[in-house]
Structure 1
Amino acid sequence: MKKIGILGGTFNPPHLGHLVIANEVQMELKLDEIWFMPNQEPPHKENKSGVGGAHRLEMVRRAIANHPLFKTQAIELERVGKSYTFDTIQLLKERYDDEFYFIIGADMIEYLPKWYNIDELVNLITFVGVNRSQYRCDTDYPILYVDVPNIDISSDMIRKRVQDGKSIRYLVPDPVKEYIEENRLYET
């Protein structure tokens, strides 16, 4: 049985902050793999950029290509509608006999009481919380905490920089930057 970390998100686009979080959690908890799992439609936000799942999955693949323990997991993109973590974890548990560690930022820790079927979900996975500036990691739910360097980069900020014609070099991996430019993503 493997110990698998899952880092879910829109990855719209994936950036260096995502990679640092995954790397720090993998090392700290000695996980066998980290799966980057782009979601279809998160229940707590809308995809206003118009960049679909295929583009986001390809950007993740390019972002993690050089790390042997980082993988992609497209299970949420296979479904239509809102992506609830509870439903996804049930599907993963049916398909794999592994132990799952679900990585969330402090912004999502604060939101945990509103998660769909949270009281059942905490019995299916281990939550791993990482710090994020301007958010607290306080919760009554069982969470392992991993301290990661605060890298104040967001996908929103990257999309805005592209729209404004500003550089995103050193904010995203070069293959992601090239993919965004080649496909003219986020320009309007």
Structure 2
Amino acid sequence: MSATKKTGLYFGTFNPIHIGHLIIANHLVENSDLDEIWLIVTPHNPHKKKKSLLEDHHRLAMVEIALEEYPKLKASNIEFNLPQPNYTVNTLVHLEEKYPTKQFALIMGEDNLKSFHKWKNYEVILDRYSIYVYPRISEGTVDTQFYSPTSASSANGIEGGGEVFHPKITKVDAPIMELSSTFIRKGVKAGKNIRPMMPFDVWKYMDEMNFYR
């Protein structure tokens, strides 16, 4: 009997996907105990305006194009047929029912961890799933229940940059990526050359479809 695969879930609107997303996902799958990572394209993030989003199938298509050469990374449209707006806790329940043999974990930026206490049923998520946090440069502080700034060793050995985390939270020493989809969309609208920021075939798809102009 094969061992249970540990699958990281990287949620995002990917509007559009860019090299920052790829660098983070690839770094995590190559430098953690995650066997694979699913990039879950979210139709409607409750914290973002729906009208600013490209159509779901186009964003999914760009993610699929971006991941063609990354066998450990997979595009997922699992949220497309779930009630909207999409709440992570509901998606996790659906995934566990659909894939009972998989072990799921969440991936999020440090900026998202700072607002994690505002998520629907975040206590349930924290109780049932591991969370891998990659660094971001952002303002604000993380709730002290998630970590406390100290240099002491934690009981379970999870440390990161002098910060001892909640037992379910692991801070990953990944590259800090400040590139954003918003920056790319604004660049496209302003007629700037943003080709270095995206996988070439994704940029080509976006350019041919005249997206974000």
**Aligning the two structures, in what range does the TM-score lie when normalised by the shorter sequence?**
over 0.9
- Does residue 180 (structure 1) correspond to residue 183 (structure 2)? The answer is no
> Residue 162 of structure 1 contacts residue 186 of structure 1 at CA under 8 Å; is this kept in 2?
yes
1:46 aligned residue (39, 43, 49)? 49
> Residue 131 of structure 1 contacts residue 137 of structure 1 at CA under 8 Å; is this kept in 2?
no
Residue 28 of structure 1 and its aligned partner are, at CA, apart by: 2.0
2:94 aligned residue (91, 96, 99)? 91
Q: Secondary structure at the match of 1:178?
A: helix
**Relative to structure 1, is the Cα distance of residues 26 and 50 closer, same or farther in structure 2, using a 3 angstrom cutoff?**
closer
Residue 137 of structure 1 and its aligned partner are, at CA, apart by: 7.2
Q: Deviations over 1:116-139 (max 9, x none)?
A: 001111122211111111246734
1:164 aligned residue (160, 173, 190)? 190
The residue number in structure 2 matching 1:31 is 34
The residue number in structure 2 matching 1:154 is 180
> Residue 109 of structure 1 contacts residue 137 of structure 1 at CA under 8 Å; is this kept in 2?
no
- Does residue 100 (structure 1) correspond to residue 104 (structure 2)? The answer is yes
Q: Deviations over 1:87-131 (max 9, x none)?
A: 000000011121111100011100111000011111222111111
Q: Secondary structure at the match of 2:60?
A: helix
The residue number in structure 2 matching 1:122 is 126
5+ residue gaps, structure 1: none
2:5 aligned residue (2, 6, 20)? 2
5+ residue gaps, structure 2: 147-165
Which amino acid is 1:70 matched to? L
CA distance in 1, matches of 2:69, 2:184: 22
Which amino acid is 1:60 matched to? V
Q: TM-score, structure 1 length as denominator?
A: 0.94
Larger RCO of the pair (alpha carbons < 8 Å, separation 6+) = 1
Which amino acid is 2:185 matched to? R
Q: Secondary structure at the match of 2:104?
A: strand
Which amino acid is 2:26 matched to? N
Which amino acid is 2:121 matched to? N
**Relative to structure 1, is the Cα distance of residues 8 and 127 closer, same or farther in structure 2, using a 3 angstrom cutoff?**
same
CA distance in 1, matches of 2:186, 2:82: 29
CA distance in 2, matches of 1:113, 1:101: 17
CA distance in 1, matches of 2:189, 2:181: 12
- RMSD over aligned CA atoms reads 1.4
Residue 146 of structure 1 and its aligned partner are, at CA, apart by: 0.4
CA distance in 2, matches of 1:132, 1:93: 29
The residue number in structure 1 matching 2:152 is none
**Relative to structure 1, is the Cα distance of residues 50 and 39 closer, same or farther in structure 2, using a 3 angstrom cutoff?**
closer
Which amino acid is 1:6 matched to? L
**Size of the alignment, in residue pairs?**
187
The residue number in structure 2 matching 1:16 is 19
CA distance in 1, matches of 2:107, 2:141: 13
**Relative to structure 1, is the Cα distance of residues 50 and 6 closer, same or farther in structure 2, using a 3 angstrom cutoff?**
closer
CA distance in 2, matches of 1:154, 1:27: 22
